[in-house]
């Protein structure tokens, strides 16, 4: 049916008017554009480029069985295992040994930093090993020489006899931002060349250790230790070192992991390659936390700095006039925010340096001057060393006598104070300030007696220590370095 001309014209005019009105309204308020979801990063090119420079590290050890265990017939041991009969824990293992009688001890990761075969990893990965093997992505395997280790920062430098190796590119933590994507490559549980990714959760995370860490949510598990943490440019920004696990005996990833900042690691590695050890400064004080309550009580404007609990007799600090009860707020021009900062700042100061110290005492700030001494530690594994701790220090413990007032406050009959816990002691959970009451069921009352006792113990056995921490007592098991 045909429409009348007048009706048709009216309809066309109405449509035109509607179109003009719609255009005008769009100009005033354009329709919302649906946001396109941001695409996730693609790590493939990064992994293909960096992966060949990441290595697997295996450590081997010689069997250290007791005489009674060695007398067990191998066939009898195997029969006992298959039938669920307990075998002595120190009985020699029959599997996983090579032609030299070495047994696999552990697995970790590392990465090549120079084409002539220099490899970085964690100190704890190779701690106590009799032999270290490095395997490349192309399955070439080399026996590695330990150029040096530094338990304080958990950095170790290895050398393999090779040339033209693929190398990583070293970045800087200064350019790293919280929330940035990062990638880890390593050998968790022995699974070579495993790639995991996440974001930076925090920078300069203080965990109470000497070293501050990069915190991430990248999946890190046993075996990832020593491997690289990479930014999106494929640069190494950290060495994966620790994870926050729910079981100290068998730690596994639960969402939080830590990496050593590469800037710190490279400084340590340079010293280890040059001299086989790291030289650090010391002033001879025992620092503690400055709580808000303490700050308010002494009228310190801000709860920061390091409260000095003790000054060693004859130490650089004593000679400089630093006293117990002082709060060190600045050292060599650097602000001491937390008490753990003091050890790091002093440690990074070259021995012999005349450094300025700002202390807060009796309600006022004072400026002092101290000549930094050298921190004497056990030698790192280097040229002419077999990588073993000196006799009596295989536990990584530095001990001191418990002050009379502390002994009285804790109602202790016996005990020695942990001045420093490294390597095996740190891994067992011991920390500075703990009081060791007994070692191997023997009460200890003086640091000299406890050190002599440790020196006599069998380094092939786990040692029990009764430990007092504040008002609580516990038993800590320490496996010494061999």
Binding residues for substrate: 124, 154, 223-225
The verdict on whether 264 is a catalytic residue reads: no
**Per annotation, catalytic residue among 109, 127, 150, 154:** 154
Q: Which residues are annotated as a binding site?
A: 124, 154, 223-225
Cβ of 446: how many Cβ atoms within 10 Å?
15
Strands 169-170 and 235-243: parallel
Would residue 124 show up in a list of annotated catalytic residues for this protein? Answer: yes
Q: Are 11 and 18 in contact (CB under 8 A)?
A: no
SS (H, E, C) 119-166: EEECHHHHCCCCEEEEECCCCCEEEEEEEEEECCCCEEEEECCCCCCC
CA atoms within 13 A on the CB side of 430: 33
What is the SS3 string spanning 255-310? CCEEEEEHHHHHHHHHHHHHHCCCCCEECCEEEECCCHHHHHHHCCCCCCCEEEEE
Tokens linked to 416: 């020695």
Specify whether 225 is catalytic.
yes
What is the rounded end-to-end Cα distance, in angstroms, of the chain? Answer: 104
Q: Is 84 left (phi over 0), alpha (psi -120 to 50) or beta?
A: left
CB-hemisphere CA count at 13 Å for 185?
27
C-alpha span between 111 and 136 (Å, rounded): 9
Listed in sequence order, the residues at least 6 apart from 472 whose beta carbon sits closer than 8 Å to its beta carbon are none
Of 187, 201, 225, 380, the catalytic one is 225
From 124, 127, 380, 434, active-site residue: 124
- What is the distance, to the nearest Å, from the Cα of residue 72 to the centroid of all Cα atoms in its chain? 40
What positions carry a catalytic annotation?
A: 124, 154, 225
């Amino acid at each position: 049916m045909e429409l009348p001309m007048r009706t048709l014209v009216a309809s066309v005019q109405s449509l035109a008017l509607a179109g003009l009105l719609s255009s005008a309204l769009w100009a005033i308020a354009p329709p919302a554009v649906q946001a396109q979801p941001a695409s996730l990063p693609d790590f493939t090119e990064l992994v293909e480029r960096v992966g060949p420079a990441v290595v697997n590290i295996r450590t081997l050890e010689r069997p250290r069985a007791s005489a009674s265990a060695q007398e067990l017939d191998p066939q009898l041991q195997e029969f006992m295992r298959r039938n669920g009969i307990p075998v002595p824990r120190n009985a020699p293992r029959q599997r996983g040994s090579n032609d030299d009688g070495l047994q696999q001890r552990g697995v970790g990761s590392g990465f090549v930093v120079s084409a002539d075969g220099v490899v970085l990893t964690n100190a704890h990965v190779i701690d106590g090993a009799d032999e270290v093997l490095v395997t490349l992505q192309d399955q070439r395997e080399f026996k590695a020489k330990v150029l040096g280790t530094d338990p304080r920062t958990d950095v170790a430098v290895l050398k393999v006899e090779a040339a033209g190796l693929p190398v990583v590119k070293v970045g800087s933590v200064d350019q790293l931002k919280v929330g940035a994507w990062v990638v880890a490559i390593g050998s968790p549980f022995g699974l070579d060349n495993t790639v995991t990714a996440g974001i930076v959760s925090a920078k300069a995370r203080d965990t109470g250790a000497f070293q501050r860490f990069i915190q991430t949510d990248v999946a890190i598990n046993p075996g990832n230790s020593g491997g690289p943490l990479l930014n999106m440019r494929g640069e190494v920004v950290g060495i994966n070192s620790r994870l926050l696990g729910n079981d100290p005996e068998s730690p596994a990833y639960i969402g939080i992991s830590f990496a050593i900042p590469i800037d710190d690691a490279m400084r340590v590695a340079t010293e280890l390659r040059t001299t086989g050890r790291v030289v650090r400064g010391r002033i001879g004080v025992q620092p503690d936390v400055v709580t808000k309550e303490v700050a308010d009580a002494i009228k310190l404007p801000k709860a920061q700095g390091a409260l000095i609990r003790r000054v060693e007799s004859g130490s650089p600090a004593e000679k400089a006039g630093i006293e117990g009860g002082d709060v060190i707020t600045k050292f060599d021009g650097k602000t001491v925010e937390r008490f753990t900062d003091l050890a790091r700042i002093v440690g990074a100061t070259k021995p012999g340096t005349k450094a300025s110290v700002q202390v807060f005492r009796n309600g006022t700030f004072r400026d002092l001057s101290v000549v930094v001494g050298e921190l004497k530690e056990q030698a790192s594994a280097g040229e002419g060393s077999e990588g073993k701790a000196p006799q009596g220090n295989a536990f990584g413990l530095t001990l001191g006598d418990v002050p009379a007032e502390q002994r009285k406050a804790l109602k202790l009959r016996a005990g020695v104070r942990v001045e420093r816990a490294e390597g095996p002691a740190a891994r067992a959970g011991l920390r500075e300030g703990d009081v060791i009451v007994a070692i191997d069921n023997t009460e200890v009352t003086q640091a000299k007696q406890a050190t002599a006792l440790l020196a006599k113990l069998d380094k092939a056995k786990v040692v029990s220590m009764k430990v007092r921490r504040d008002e609580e007592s516990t038993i800590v098991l320490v496996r010494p370095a061999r």
